[in-house]
Structure 1
Amino acid sequence: MYDWQTAFLRTSLQTLAVIRSAVMGQRMMGHSAKAACGDSMVNMGSDESVLILIQHCQDMKQQETRLRLITFLLLLSCMALVLFMTGANLWQHKNSGSRQQENAAVQSPAYSRQGCPADNPSTDSKRLQIHLRSVPEPEARESGPLYMTWNAEFGQIYDQEKRAIVIPVKGFYFVYMRIALNCLGEDEPEDFKKFFVELQQWNKGYDKNVTLVEALDGILCTTQGSKTMFLGRLFDLSEGDHLRVLIIEGYKLITKSSFGAYLT
């Protein structure tokens, strides 16, 4: 409530109290005057005295009427002030809520335009976004593990020597891998070919390969034998972590593959 409104209301209440006391005094005086008028009319025989007393009684009645009118006007003023303050508070709260909704509406499109980090390769490089395509190995060994080689379609944080994605800052990253398999090029086709892949993590801080995800699958070698595998998961990674794809078995079944990660 505003200071001037509080002062006005306090003053009005004090004035009402004073007027009420005055009205009560006037009523007591009126009763006394009426009694006096009655007694005088009985005891006094003079017409002049009677007229004076009657005039005095009429004056007191007029004063009482004026006091009542002033009291009524003050009550109306207090009620109007209360209604005005209530309306002002409601209007202020309504405007405050409208401004908050407008700010939220302004911020919402800006947030929606950010989109998924993987959809915008031009974002700051500190927010890691990298997508790789596999490079065929002409002399790939049939037996023994082999780390896959990649070319970066976008993103620069790729270690060609270690064939790994390098994590620049600590955070939560979504890492994904897509591999298409086909056994039509096999010289000696079999009924079923196994395929085994691992996603490994390495960091010079502990210098040890850690398997994050592994998948064992296979494919039926028929005239239309083909399959696509997809692996994806959210990881809490540290700065300097290296992510590599190790093919343990079935490298020759790969026709194409992709590998990537982005900071969430």
Structure 2
Amino acid sequence: MPRVEMFESGLEQGQMMPVLMRHCETMKRQETRLRLATAVLLATFLATLLWLQFHQQTTKGAFSGAHSEAENFLKTEEPPIRHTVHLEPVNQSDACSEEQPINWNIIDDGNDSQNFKLENQTVLHVFTKGLYLINLRISYRVYNNQCESRSDPEVLTLEVNVSQKHRNYDREREVISGKESMLCRDYWLQSITLNRVIMLEADTSLRVKLNKKSCKFVRNRHLEVTYL
């Protein structure tokens, strides 16, 4: 090899050495940064796992405590006792009038009726002051040969009235009432259903009355009074 070529080759090798050195330093710096970034990510991931585990345990403990409190509350809070009395007619064919209230019997079906007393099968006494739900249903039916005219059916007026009487009142007061019309035609059916929540004083008497003209068409009667 001529001396000139050897000299140029030595120069090229000398110029490449610094480039290789800078490249190695750059690679080392990038490698160091990569390791630091990896370490930061791992630390963040571990910290997140620890926080989630702590938060889960805290939430579970709070939920368990709230659930236990709710169970204790449900165990200690008993539902209110509601006293109910059910009245059914003594006889479906009993006569009735505006002057004489219809007759009832107390039906013993396991309900507590200690707040009520039925007297003379016509008057229901309420002993405790409070709110009461009154439900009344009267059903009517026209039987064969009950109508006076077959060619021109009469329009009947059906009236129902529940009244209360108390020593503080100068007269009976209406609690709830209803009115319906019905054709006087064989096997015609009609009904009246009444319900109302009302405040009653202690020692109040309740009566149910029907208008006289509709009494013979009464098929069934049901009265329910519930102390709320």
TM-score range, shorter chain: 0.5 to 0.7
- Seen in structure 2, the aligned counterparts of structure 1 residues 207 and 240 have a Cα distance that, compared at 3 Å, is farther
**Runs of 4+ off more than 4 Å:** 87-94, 105-111
Cα distance, 1:231 vs. partner? Answer: 0.6
Q: Do 2:92 and 2:220's aligned partners in 1 also have CA atoms closer than 8 Å?
A: no
User: 5 Å matches for 1:6-155?
Assistant: 94-105=60-71, 127-136=82-91, 140=95, 144-154=98-108, 155=113
Cα distance, 1:97 vs. partner? Answer: 3.5
Cα distance in 1 for residues equivalent to 2:178 and 2:226:
21
* Residue segments in structure 1 that go unaligned for 5+ positions in a row: 1-79, 118-123
Q: Deviations over 1:38-78 (max 9, x none)?
A: xxxxxxxxxxxxxxxxxxxxxxxxxxxxxxxxxxxxxxxxx
Cα distance in 2 for residues equivalent to 1:227 and 1:130:
25
- Seen in structure 2, the aligned counterparts of structure 1 residues 89 and 240 have a Cα distance that, compared at 3 Å, is farther
- Select the residue among 194, 217, 228 that pairs with 1:253: 217
Give the 3-state SS of the residue equivalent to 2:67 in structure 1.
helix
User: 5 Å matches for 1:215-234?
Assistant: 215-234=178-197
Aligned-residue CA RMSD in angstroms?
Answer: 3.7
Cα distance, 1:194 vs. partner? Answer: 1.2
What is the identity percentage for the equivalent residue pairs of Structure 1 and Structure 2? 19
Cα distance in 2 for residues equivalent to 1:218 and 1:240:
35
Q: Structure 1 length normalisation: TM-score?
A: 0.53
- Seen in structure 2, the aligned counterparts of structure 1 residues 216 and 153 have a Cα distance that, compared at 3 Å, is same
- Seen in structure 2, the aligned counterparts of structure 1 residues 164 and 92 have a Cα distance that, compared at 3 Å, is farther
Give the corresponding residue for 1:163.
Answer: 122
Matched residue type, 1:150: W
Q: Do 2:147 and 2:184's aligned partners in 1 also have CA atoms closer than 8 Å?
A: no
Give the 3-state SS of the residue equivalent to 2:168 in structure 1.
coil
Cα distance in 2 for residues equivalent to 1:161 and 1:141:
14
Cα distance in 1 for residues equivalent to 2:123 and 2:170:
14
Cα distance, 1:168 vs. partner? Answer: 2.4
Cα distance, 1:224 vs. partner? Answer: 2.9
Cα distance, 1:138 vs. partner? Answer: 5.8
Give the corresponding residue for 1:192.
Answer: 155
Cα distance, 1:109 vs. partner? Answer: 8.5
When structure 1 is superposed on structure 2, of 87-96 and 229-238 the one drifting more is 87-96
Cα distance in 1 for residues equivalent to 2:129 and 2:59:
43
Give the 3-state SS of the residue equivalent to 1:146 in structure 2.
coil
Cα distance, 1:214 vs. partner? Answer: 1.2
Q: Do 1:199 and 1:213's aligned partners in 2 also have CA atoms closer than 8 Å?
A: yes
* Residue segments in structure 2 that go unaligned for 5+ positions in a row: 1-46
Cα distance in 1 for residues equivalent to 2:195 and 2:88:
16
Give the corresponding residue for 1:20.
Answer: none
- Seen in structure 2, the aligned counterparts of structure 1 residues 256 and 109 have a Cα distance that, compared at 3 Å, is farther
Higher relative contact order (CA 8 A, sep 6+): 2
Q: Structure 2 length normalisation: TM-score?
A: 0.61
Q: Deviations over 1:65-104 (max 9, x none)?
A: xxxxxxxxxxxxxxx9xxx9xx989855652342222342
